[in-house]
Structure 1
Amino acid sequence: MGVAYNIFVAAFAAIGSFLFGYDSGIIGEVISPTFLHFQSYFGNPSADLTGAIVSTFAGGCFFGAWAAGWLADHIGRKRTIMVGSLVACLGCALQTSAQNVAYLIAGRIIAGLAIGCLSMVVPLYQSEISPPHMRGFLTGMTQFMIAVGFLVAFWVGYGCQFLDSNAQWRVPLGIQIIPAALLFLGMFVLPYSPRWLIQKGRMEEAKHALQVLHGTDKNQDFIELEFAEMVEQIRYEQANFSHKVSDLWATRPMLRRTLTGIAVQVCTQLTGINVSSYFQPTLYKNLGYSGHTVLLLTGINGALGAVVLIFFITLVIDRVGRKPPLIIGSIGMAACLAIEAAINKNYGQGSDNTAAQKAGVAFIILFGSFFFSTSFGPISWIYQSEIFPMRVRAVGTSVCTMANWASSVLISQVSPIGLQNIGWKYYIVFVVTNVMNMLIVIFFFPETKGKSLEEMDAVFGDQVIPHALETGNTRNVDTEKGTHTPSEEKVAIEHREA
Structure 2
Amino acid sequence: MGYDVKFDETTPLIKEIHIQSEHSALHTEFEHHLGVWQAIDVYRPAVFWCIIATLTVVLNGFDNALIGSLISVESFAQQFGRHYGDGYVISAAWLGAFNYAAMLGGATGSLGAGILYDSLGPKRTLGLCVLGSIGAIFLQFLSSTPAVLFLGLLANGILVGFFPVIASAYIGEICPVVLRGIMGSMVNLGFVVGQLIAAGLLKATEKMESSWAYKMPLASQWILPLLLLVFLPLMPESPWWLVRKGRIQKAKKALDNLSTTAVNTMYALANIEETLSNEQSSGEKVNVLDCFKGTNLRRLIIAIMAYQLQPLTGNVFFVTYSVYFFTNAGLSISDAFSLKLWLTIAGFVATLLAWPVMSWTGRRPILIAGTAALTLTMFLIGVLDLDAIRTSSSIYAQSMLMVFATIVYDLSTGPLCFVILCEIPAPRVRGITIAIASILTSLSSVIITILIPYGLNIDELNWGGKVGFVFMVLGALCTTWCFFCLPESKGRTFEELDILFEREVSSRKFEDYDVLEGEEESVIMF
Q: Which range, TM-score by smaller chain?
A: 0.7 to 0.9
Q: Partners of 1:181 and 1:462 in 2: how far apart?
A: 47
Q: Partners of 1:243 and 1:200 in 2: how far apart?
A: 10
Structure 2 residue aligned with 1:49: 94
Q: Tell me which moved more, 431-440 or 238-247.
A: 238-247
SS of structure 2 residue aligned to 1:176: helix
User: 8 Å contact 2:372–2:479 — kept in the other structure?
Assistant: yes
SS of structure 2 residue aligned to 1:162: coil
Structure 2 residue aligned with 1:107: 152
1:18 aligns with 2:58: yes
Structure 2 residue aligned with 1:401: 438
Q: Partners of 1:248 and 1:43 in 2: how far apart?
A: 44
> What is the RMSD computed on CA atoms of the aligned residues?
2.5
What is the aligned counterpart of 1:249 among 287, 292, 300? Answer: 292
Structure 2 residue aligned with 1:442: 483
Structure 2 residue aligned with 1:474: none
Deviation for aligned residue 1:346: 4.6
Task: Please report the TM-score for the alignment, with normalisation by the length of structure 2.
Answer: 0.83
1:66 aligns with 2:111: yes
Q: Partners of 1:179 and 1:400 in 2: how far apart?
A: 26
1:416 aligns with 2:453: yes
User: 8 Å contact 2:299–2:426 — kept in the other structure?
Assistant: no
Identity over aligned pairs, percent = 27
User: 8 Å contact 1:123–1:142 — kept in the other structure?
Assistant: yes
Structure 2 residue aligned with 1:323: 364
Q: Partners of 2:299 and 2:423 in 1: how far apart?
A: 10
Q: Tell me which moved more, 78-87 or 294-303.
A: 78-87
Structure 2 residue aligned with 1:191: 236
Structure 1 residue aligned with 2:280: 238
1:210 aligns with 2:210: no
Q: Partners of 1:312 and 1:239 in 2: how far apart?
A: 35
Q: Tell me which moved more, 401-410 or 231-240.
A: 231-240
Deviation for aligned residue 1:227: 2.1
1:3 aligns with 2:43: yes
Q: Partners of 1:319 and 1:228 in 2: how far apart?
A: 30
Residues 287-336 of structure 1: per-residue CA shift (max 9 Å, x gap)? 431220000000000011101101212x1223321111101101111111
SS of structure 2 residue aligned to 1:316: helix
User: 8 Å contact 2:66–2:199 — kept in the other structure?
Assistant: yes
Runs of 5+ consecutive residues of structure 2 not aligned to the other structure: 1-40, 83-89, 505-515
| Structure 1 segment 143-182 matched on structure 2, within 5 A | 143-182=188-227
What is the aligned counterpart of 1:367 among 385, 405, 423? Answer: 405
Structure 2 residue aligned with 1:467: none
Deviation for aligned residue 1:79: 1.3
Deviation for aligned residue 1:357: 3.2
SS of structure 2 residue aligned to 1:192: coil
Deviation for aligned residue 1:286: 4.3
What is the aligned counterpart of 1:261 among 303, 306, 310? Answer: 303
| Structure 1 segment 78-93 matched on structure 2, within 5 A | 78-93=123-138
Q: Partners of 1:193 and 1:65 in 2: how far apart?
A: 19
Q: Partners of 2:423 and 2:517 in 1: how far apart?
A: 27
Amino acid across the alignment from 1:198: V
Q: Partners of 1:308 and 1:62 in 2: how far apart?
A: 27
Structure 2 residue aligned with 1:478: none
Residues 366-411 of structure 1: per-residue CA shift (max 9 Å, x gap)? 001x210111101111212322222211111110111110111101
User: 8 Å contact 1:87–1:114 — kept in the other structure?
Assistant: yes
Q: Partners of 1:98 and 1:39 in 2: how far apart?
A: 14
Amino acid across the alignment from 1:399: I
Q: Partners of 1:348 and 1:493 in 2: how far apart?
A: 56
Amino acid across the alignment from 2:214: W
What is the aligned counterpart of 1:302 among 331, 339, 344? Answer: 344
Structure 1 residue aligned with 2:76: 38
1:428 aligns with 2:480: no
1:29 aligns with 2:35: no
Deviation for aligned residue 1:245: 1.8
Residues 338-389 of structure 1: per-residue CA shift (max 9 Å, x gap)? 111122225998x43x3x4322211110001x21011110111121232222
User: 8 Å contact 1:87–1:113 — kept in the other structure?
Assistant: no
User: 8 Å contact 1:448–1:459 — kept in the other structure?
Assistant: no
Residues 1:242 and 1:25: Cα distance change in structure 2 (over 3 Å)? closer
1:387 aligns with 2:430: no
Q: Partners of 2:389 and 2:344 in 1: how far apart?
A: 23
User: 8 Å contact 2:71–2:324 — kept in the other structure?
Assistant: no
Residues 1:192 and 1:492: Cα distance change in structure 2 (over 3 Å)? farther
Q: Partners of 2:281 and 2:182 in 1: how far apart?
A: 33
Task: Please report the TM-score for the alignment, with normalisation by the length of structure 1.
Answer: 0.87
